[in-house]
């Protein structure tokens, strides 16, 4: 950050995008990674914290809309009916002062393998709104995370909103780490929609930390469709989850251990998501 010539904190999104269009601009949200960055190419820091609309959580009939600057603490304290897995993931991010700073947009844009929030956002089939000067587009979390999100965000583009459909909302999130404030060795989320008869009509499952980037588990989702929760089902989808999963090397654990973690936690999170039905909207 040695070469930064200006810090700007606009109060409108138009002004943010105007400034982000200039070469050498970097957006700062919670600042928790930006402050430690040594990037000499950054000439201008555009602080997103002055734009009120980016901090809002709005409830619409069929969706929740999160501004990109909503913090982990905001997710924990809001009275809006946000899905349980999102609250659980927000709570899993480090400690209170870090949660006071880290934003939803920052979590999505940063997307390290262990980052917690992208996992529930994938399992909730969230859509991200990305704006640049004179343009805007919508992209699903799944598409945004086909490769590292930084590759999908062009220079000058800013994440402004996250849309979470409220269609299948019995959900759960689990982070597995050595201590409460450590980075995840595995994080996993599931959201399910149950029929009146208690069958799993539709399930979305996402995993992170054991893979280079958080991703959905399509084969598991397919295997759950139309099924009733049972020990056999959980055992088989746990095993299925490992097959075809490209595990990343982790200096903390062996790949055998990783595989075992996946089997156990995928089953567990699905069970919890189903059992959470009724406790949440």
Ligand X SMILES: Cc1cc2nc3c(=O)[nH]c(=O)nc-3n(C[C@H](O)[C@H](O)[C@H](O)COP(=O)(O)OP(=O)(O)OC[C@H]3O[C@@H](n4cnc5c(N)ncnc54)[C@H](O)[C@@H]3O)c2cc1C
Contact positions vs ligand X (CB under 6 A):
26-34, 48, 68, 93-94, 98, 101-103, 105-107, 109-110, 115-117, 153, 158-159, 183
d(CA 175, CA 173): 7
24 contact, one of ligand X, another protein, none, CB 5-8 Å limit per kind: none
116 contact, one of another protein, ligand X, none, CB 5-8 Å limit per kind: ligand X
Nearest to 166 by CA among 126, 202, 199, 114: 126
Question: Cβ(237)–Cβ(148) under 8 Å?
Answer: no
Whichever of 5 and 62 has its CB closer to ligand X, that residue is 5
Q: Within 149-188, which residues bind another protein (CB under 8 A)?
A: 180-181
Site string for another protein, 188-207 (x = CB under 8 A): --------------------
Q: Within 93-132, which residues bind another protein (CB under 8 A)?
A: 94-98, 100-101
Whichever of 84 and 158 has its CB closer to ligand X, that residue is 158
Whichever of 90 and 220 has its CB closer to ligand X, that residue is 90
Q: Which stretch binds another protein (CB under 8 A): 30-38, 57-65, 187-195, 245-253?
A: 30-38
In terms of C-beta density within 10 A (0-12 exposed, 13-18 middle, 19 or more buried), how is residue 217 classed? Answer: buried
What does 229-254 look like in DSSP terms, one character per residue? P-HHHHHHHHHHHHTT--PPPBTTB-
Question: Cβ(207)–Cβ(186) under 8 Å?
Answer: yes
38 contact, one of another protein, ligand X, none, CB 5-8 Å limit per kind: another protein
Specify the residue for token string 């809001």.
Answer: 78
**Residue from 3, 12, 53, 59 in contact with another protein (CB under 8 A):** 3
Whichever of 101 and 229 has its CB closer to another protein, that residue is 101
Whichever of 95 and 150 has its CB closer to another protein, that residue is 95
Q: Which residues, including other chains, have CB under 8 Å from residue 198's CB and lie 6 or more apart?
A: 228, 229
Element (H, E) at 28: strand 25-28
272 contact, one of another protein, ligand X, none, CB 5-8 Å limit per kind: none
> SS3 letters for 148-175?
CHHHHCCCCCEEEEEEEECCCCEEEEEE
Nearest to 133 by CA among 156, 106, 109, 105: 156
Q: Does 41 bind another protein (CB under 8 A)?
A: no
Binding site for another protein (CB under 8 A): 1-7, 9, 28, 30-32, 34-36, 38, 45, 47, 94-98, 100-101, 180-181
């Amino acid at each position: 950050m040695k070469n930064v010539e200006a810090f700007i904190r606009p109060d409108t999104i138009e002004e943010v995008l105007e400034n982000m269009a200039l070469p050498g601009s970097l957006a700062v949200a919670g600042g928790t990674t930006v402050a430690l960055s040594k990037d000499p190419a950054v000439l201008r820091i555009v602080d997103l914290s002055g734009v009120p609309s980016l901090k809002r959580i709005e409830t619409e009939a069929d969706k929740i809309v999160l501004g990109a600057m909503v913090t982990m603490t905001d997710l924990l304290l809001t009275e809006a009916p946000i899905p349980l897995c999102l609250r659980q993931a927000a709570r899993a991010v480090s400690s209170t002062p870090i949660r006071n700073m880290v934003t939803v947009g920052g979590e999505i844009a940063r997307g390290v393998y262990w980052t917690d929030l992208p996992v529930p956002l994938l399992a909730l089939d969230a859509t991200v709104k990305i704006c640049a000067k004179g343009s805007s587009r919508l992209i699903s979390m799944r598409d945004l995370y086909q490769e590292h999100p930084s590759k999908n965000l062009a220079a000058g583009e800013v994440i402004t909103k996250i849309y979470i459909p409220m269609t299948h909302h019995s959900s759960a999130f689990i982070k597995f780490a050595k201590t409460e404030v450590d980075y995840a060795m595995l994080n996993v989320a599931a959201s399910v929609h149950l029929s009146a008869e208690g069958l799993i009509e539709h399930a979305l499952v996402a995993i992170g930390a054991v893979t280079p980037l958080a991703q959905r588990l399509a084969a598991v989702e397919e295997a759950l469709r139309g099924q009733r929760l049972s020990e056999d089902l959980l055992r088989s989808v746990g095993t299925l989850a490992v097959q075809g999963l490209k595990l990343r090397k982790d200096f903390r654990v062996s790949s055998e251990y990783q595989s075992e973690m996946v089997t156990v936690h995928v089953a567990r999170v699905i069970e919890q998501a189903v059992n959470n039905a009724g406790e949440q909207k």
